[in-house]
């Protein structure tokens, strides 16, 4: 009887094993033709599109930066404005203006006037001759007086105001300077972008007169340039900047379309998305390293007499927002790659998703036991869970694309908001909780 009673159970086990073998065979047989459809040209096309998108992403960041510097006055002022308080730039401007002012003062005439004044007082001739030997001390003292006066002007808040407002007024000329049609106080001559600092000379002249140096009244209106950017290759840079400025508004969208085409063409789109995001991240890393290396190359090729410290400060200011854009896009690419990886079937991804789901589920159970009733909301979220997740991602993408100049912190906070949105979606999904409960009750003997 025991043997007879065990036969149905044994037959059931054999039938279940046969069914499992049948399903496994069906899966294996179904996988073979799918693998046969993998055409090498399609895979190669996907890889080429992704690599091309990574290259375009590099150019897009530079194009957006160039377009913002040329077209956005506030952006330009925010870029060059802090230079007014930079010690290296202040020192360079002080030296430049000091040299210009001293060049307009005739020290020989001052010594001659002093000799004549001494002679008229009736002092002995030898004493008058000694006055004539004071030319070097007078020159040094005059230089210290002028340099100190210029430094006080340059380090004052008045200079910062003049610097910012002056750059705001002449911003329209920056476009012409970078495109080769220069006029006004910003010019492109001798392979350099220069700003006329004549207002600073005028203020120094006024202060010298107030300090008792009457000869400063004879200083004419001097138009002198402070070089912002100088390079023998600035003509080429000018052309590239113009091209990138024209493409600045369209290149990011073209890049996105090319990347989407590369992912869509791939057989495993999740792997392709990880590859595309990683390629863009690598491009941003390369661009960041290039900007650092180019800084050293630029400073090594400065003309004689230029201040490397001031030139470095100007370079850092000009590419400040370019570096911010590189970091922001790199962060977006890295977060996208991590997100695509965590959505996959790998052991780590499954463990992360399971842990998050169980933690949120435990929190929901506590809330429900405390009297929270989700009802129709929970059923609605469960029914349209995928659509809600897609909507969260689309809104996040729109925020990043419509943000004028997103920074790394903007990307990070957007990611945090997206994660919070997915957590809330999981919390409200009572359908998954009830399904899990039913499953546990079914397997419980």
Q: What is the pLDDT of residue 410?
A: 92
pLDDT digits 0-9 by tens, 127-164: 656 655 666 676 777 778 878 888 888 887 777 877 78
What integer pLDDT is reported at residue 257 of this predicted model?
Answer: 93
- Domain-by-domain residue ranges, the chain? 69-240, 347-443
Q: Average pLDDT across each block of 10 residues of the chain; the chain has 445 residues. List them in order.
A: 46 52 53 53 89 93 81 79 85 81 71 63 61 66 80 80 73 57 49 65 74 65 63 61 69 91 90 94 95 88 78 85 92 93 90 90 87 84 90 91 86 94 89 49 40
The Cα–Cα gap between 381 and 374 comes to 10
Q: Which long-range contacts (CB under 8 A, 24 or more apart) does 239-245 make?
A: 241/66, 241/70, 241/178, 241/179, 242/178, 242/179, 244/59, 244/62, 244/63, 244/66, 244/67, 245/63, 245/66, 245/67, 245/70, 245/71, 245/178
pTM for the structure as a whole: 0.71
Which two three-digit tokens encode residue 16? Answer: 């279940």
For 337-369, how does the pLDDT look when each residue is reduced to its tens digit (9 = 90+)? 999 999 888 899 999 989 998 898 889 888 888
* Amino acid 413: pLDDT: 94
Please, what is the angle between helix 308-318 and helix 73-80, to 10°? 150
**pLDDT at site 4:** 47
């Amino acid at each position: 009887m025991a043997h007879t009673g065990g036969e149905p159970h044994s037959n059931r086990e054999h039938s279940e094993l046969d069914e499992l073998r049948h399903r496994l065979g069906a899966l294996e047989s179904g996988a073979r033709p799918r693998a046969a459809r993998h055409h090498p040209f399609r895979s190669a096309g996907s890889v080429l599109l992704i690599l091309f998108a990574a290259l375009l992403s590099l150019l897009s960041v530079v194009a957006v930066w160039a377009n913002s510097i040329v077209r956005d006055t506030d952006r330009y002022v925010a870029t060059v404005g802090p230079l007014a308080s930079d010690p290296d730039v202040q020192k360079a401007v002080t030296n430049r203006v000091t040299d210009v002012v001293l060049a307009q003062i005739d020290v020989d005439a001052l010594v001659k006037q002093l000799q004549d004044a001494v002679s008229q007082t009736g002092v002995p001739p030898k004493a008058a001759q000694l006055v004539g030997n004071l030319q070097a001390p007078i020159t040094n003292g005059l230089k210290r007086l002028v340099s100190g006066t210029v430094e006080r002007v340059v380090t004052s808040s008045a200079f910062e105001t003049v610097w910012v407002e002056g750059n705001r007024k002449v911003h329209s000329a920056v476009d012409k300077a970078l495109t080769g049609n220069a006029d006004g106080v910003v010019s492109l001559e001798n392979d350099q972008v220069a700003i006329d600092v004549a207002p600073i000379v005028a203020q120094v002249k006024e202060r010298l007169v107030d300090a008792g140096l009457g000869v400063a009244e004879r200083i004419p209106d001097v138009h002198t340039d402070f070089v912002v950017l100088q390079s023998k290759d600035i003509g080429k840079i000018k052309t590239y900047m113009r091209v990138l400025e024209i493409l600045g508004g369209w290149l990011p969208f073209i890049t996105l379309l090319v990347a989407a085409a590369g992912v869509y063409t791939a057989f495993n789109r999740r792997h392709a998305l990880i590859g595309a995001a990683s390629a863009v991240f690598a491009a941003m890393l390369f661009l960041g390293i290039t900007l650092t290396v180019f800084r050293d190359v630029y400073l090594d090729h400065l003309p004689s007499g230029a201040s490397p410290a001031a030139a470095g400060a100007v370079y850092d200011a000009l590419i400040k927002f370019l570096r911010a854009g590189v970091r922001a896009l790199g962060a977006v690419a890295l977060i996208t790659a991590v997100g695509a990886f965590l959505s996959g079937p790998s052991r780590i991804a499954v463990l992360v998703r399971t842990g998050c789901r169980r933690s949120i589920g435990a929190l929901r159970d506590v809330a429900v036991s405390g009297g929270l009733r989700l009802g129709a909301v929970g059923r609605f979220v469960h029914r349209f869970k995928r659509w809600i997740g897609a909507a969260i991602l689309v809104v996040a993408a729109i925020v990043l694309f419509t943000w004028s100049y997103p920074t790394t912190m903007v990307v990070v906070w957007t990611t945090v908001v997206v994660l919070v949105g997915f957590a809330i979606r999981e919390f409200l999904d009572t359908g998954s909780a009830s399904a899990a409960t039913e499953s546990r009750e079914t397997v419980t003997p």
